[in-house]
Copies of this chain bind each other. A is one copy, B any other.
Amino acid sequence: VSGSLSPDAVAAAHRRVAPYVRRTPVLTSTLLDAWLGHRLFFKAEGLQKIGAFKIRGATNALLSLKEQGRLPKEVVAFSSGNHAQGVALAARTLGVKATVHIPEGSSPTKARAAASYGADVVFAKTRQEAEERTEAARRLGAHLLHPYDDDAVIAGQGTACLEALEDCPEPDAIFAPCGGGGLLSGSVLAKELASPSSKIYAGEPLAGNDAARSYRSGGIVRLDKAPDTIADGARTLAVGKRTFPHLRRLDGFFEIDEPDVIYWTQWLNHLLKVAVEPTSALAMAAACAWLKTQDAPKRVLVLLSGGNIAPEAYLRIWERDRLGEVPSLG
C-alpha cells in the first residue's frame, strides 16, 4: 500500500475539509524580501484552528471514514502535541468520542486545549506506555488515528500546500519542516498536482536528523530516544512506512542547528506578527540555506506549520536577543 497515494487524493481531501478548516493567509514581509534579495511567501498555519495544520489530516481521516460508512464511535490517538488537539476538535465536529494518550512531560497547554475540545485526556508515564494504551483501545474497537503514518492524514495535511500554491502559484521552491513526514508527504503530492516544476525541500533539526539520514541511506533510520531540540514538532523517532516513499521524492534535506531554529523563530515572530513555533522556523532556515546557493532572485514558499508555543518555550526562545543581527545571505 505504501506510496500508492495519488496527488488527486489531496484535491479530494481539500474538497472534503474546506468547510471545516480555515483558509489561512499567505503572508509576506517587504523588509525581509529586501534584506534577502528574494521573494518569500509564508503559509501561516499558526492561524489555523487548533493553531496548527494537524486539524487538516485528522478531519480528512474522519470525513473519509464517514463517506465510506465507517465512521467510528470512538477515535483514539497518542500525541504530545498538536495532533492531540487536531483529533479532539475533528472528533467533536463529527460527533465522535475521542481519547488522547499524552506522555507526562508534554506541554500542559496542549493537553488542556485537547480537553477543552472535549477529548478524554489520559496521561501516560512514557511515550511507549501512551502507544501501548492506544493500541489496547484499538483492539477494543476504537479507531486509531496515527499522527502521520496514515494515507488519509497525509492527504489532509497536503491541503495546506495545495491552498498555498493557489495563492502563490509556481514558486521556484517549497520548504516545510520534517517531523514524522505527514506535512511533507502531502506537500510532495500537492506540488505534483499544482506546481510540478517547483522544487521541494525539508528542514529537520540536526539534533534529530533521522529523516535526512533515512533519505540518504534509502532505509528508515530510527532514533533510540526523542531528540533534544526546541522544535517540539520534530521530536519524532522515525518517519513512517507510509510517509517515507513520499519523502524519498523530495529534492533534498537541510539539517538545521538549534541556534538557527531560535534565530528564525525570533525573526519570523517579529516580522510577521503571527505566532510561529520553532518547528516552523526549520522551514525558513532551510529556505535560507538553499537561497545561499542561488544566483538569481527566487520566489519561495515556506510552510509555517503552527503557532503553538508553550510558556517555557517562550523563555528559551527569547533568552538572548537575536534581533540585532539582521537577516542576510552574505
Contacts and interface: CB of A to CB of B under 8 A. Distances in A.
Interface of A: 31, 46-47, 51, 108-109, 112, 116, 266, 269-270, 273-275, 307, 311-312, 314-315, 317-319, 321-324, 326
22 contacts: A31-B116, A46-B273, A47-B274, A108-B323, A109-B270, A112-B324, A266-B311, A269-B275, A273-B274, A273-B275, A273-B307, A275-B275, A311-B318, A311-B322, A311-B323, A312-B318, A314-B314, A314-B317, A314-B318, A315-B318, A315-B319, A318-B318
Contacts of A51: 273
Given A311-B318, A314-B314, A318-B314, A323 B109 contact: yes
A322 B317 CA distance: 18
A72 B13 CA distance: 56
Contacts of A326: 112, 116
A326 B116 CA distance: 10
Nearest to A46: B273
Contacts of A269: 275
Contacts of A323: 108-109, 112, 311
A313 B116 CA distance: 29
A42 to B, nearest CB: 13
Which 4 residue pairs spanning A and B have beta carbons closest together?
A314-B318, A311-B321, A273-B307, A273-B275
A108 B269 CA distance: 16
Nearest to A108: B324
Given A266-B311, A324-B108, A47 B319 contact: no
A33 B322 CA distance: 36
Given A274-B275, A311-B322, A314-B318, 8 more contacts: A108-B324, A109-B270, A109-B323, A112-B326, A274-B274, A312-B321, A314-B315, A318-B318
Contacts of A312: 318, 321
A177 to B, nearest CB: 17
Contacts of A270: 109
A270 B323 CA distance: 22
A255 to B, nearest CB: 26
Contacts of A275: 269, 273-275
Contacts of A318: 311-312, 314-315, 318
A324 B107 CA distance: 11
Instruction: Name, among A108, A266, A270, A315, the residue most crowded by chain B CB atoms within 10 Å (CB to CB).
Output: A270
A246 to B, nearest CB: 28
